[in-house]
A = this chain, B = another copy of it.
Amino acid sequence: MVEPITYKDAGVDIDTVTGALRNVAPDVASTHNASVLTGIGSFGALFRPDFGGMGDPVLVSSTDGVGTKLMVARRAQRFDTVGADLVNHCVNDILVMGAQPLFFLDYVAAGHFGPGKLEELLSGFINACRELSLPLIGGETAEMPGLYAPEDFDLAGFIVGVVDRPHVLVPERVRAGDMLLGLASSGLHTNGYSLAQKVFFERAGLDVDARLPGLDVDLGAALLAPHRCYLNPLRDLLRDEALHGLVHITGGGFTDNIPRILPEGLDAIVDRDAWTVPPLFAELARRGPVERDEMDRTFNMGIGMIVVVAADASERVIAQLSEAGEAPVVMGHVEAGDRRVRYVGAEAL
């Protein structure tokens, strides 16, 4: 007589997952607001939006992954920050359309979570959502041995926000003469990690505990610095007529991202001398070596968000951003052209 087989015998240990979800449930609930109508565990999450004051509400949604930054997390065995990367990346992606976020959902999959790892991963989402008063209203967690190798895992995030249609940041708002104001990034954010790891870990033979000149934390911590979210400093600007555009510097760097908000007939001029590129990027370029053009089309170079403003309002906006704790740099302007980025200034870092 063959012993009967059960779901648990098939290698699916749902106790780790359900235990972790139970542990973090109060923290997840702490991100909720009056618009959230259901608790955790229903088939779908109910959210009653408040479109107060909007004549023509438009939903703005986005999904993203963390990419190969997860490999740095695995190498450093530190899992509590990558969820924040995803939340902040997604918020920035809809922010540049003019939208404020309504809610967030996460997807977490792994070959094997092991003790504490899932809680760590979820804490990244929770902390970032709490910081932004953004409800984390749903998610899916899957332990799938056989589909993922034991140490492998992946995260995806999903965000929905809203903008009143007249305030959508369409490329047509951008004009010749507009100024580009750069806001500081916290590091590589979530882009260029395949190249960065190749340079630091393979070519240079370093590991996460290496100390690099100019960095006050080790290489692992510098590379894992969470993606910055620009919602709070920019929230008050979103309905400002002088705001003509926002550019989130993600994969493709300045070179590929700035043209996404340029209308026909305009170029962006970026002055490489306008700010000091942070040491992490300079070390990357030097140790690769990676040429400046390649750097500018791969990394954010210390500028994670570009605010495009009417020239005559730039001083006021700079003052307002400074008030909000930013140190904006005038990094360029818009002029006649062909929807490209033209660089001026020195190539050297």
Contact = CB atoms under 8 A, between A and B. Distances in A.
Contact of A44 (B41, B147, B161, B297): B161
Contacts of A41: 260
Interface string A32-48: 00000100011111111
Contacts of A137: 61
A298 B9 CA distance: 12
Interface residues of A, number: 78
Given A64-B107, A65-B107, A107-B158, 20 more contacts: A2-B289, A4-B289, A4-B294, A5-B199, A6-B195, A7-B192, A10-B195, A12-B194, A43-B93, A44-B62, A44-B96, A45-B60, A46-B168, A48-B57, A59-B59, A70-B147, A107-B107, A148-B152, A148-B154, A156-B156
A216 interface: no
Contacts of A144: 67-68, 194
A105 interface: yes
Contacts of A194: 7, 10-12, 144, 146
A233 to B, nearest CB: 18
A137 B71 CA distance: 29
Contact of A49 (B6, B57, B168, B197): B57
A199 B7 CA distance: 10
Nearest to A103: B61
A20 B44 CA distance: 31
B48 A56 contact: yes
A138 interface: yes
Given A68-B144, A146-B68, A154-B154, A46 B58 contact: yes
A94 interface: yes
Nearest to A156: B107
A235 interface: no
A147 B62 contact: no
A99 interface: yes
Contacts of A97: 42-44, 46
Interface string A89-103: 000011011010011
Interface string A153-165: 0101010110001
A6 B194 CA distance: 10
Contacts of A22: none
A133 interface: no
16 contacts: A5-B288, A6-B195, A7-B194, A9-B198, A44-B60, A49-B57, A59-B103, A61-B137, A61-B138, A63-B138, A63-B156, A67-B147, A68-B144, A68-B146, A107-B158, A156-B156
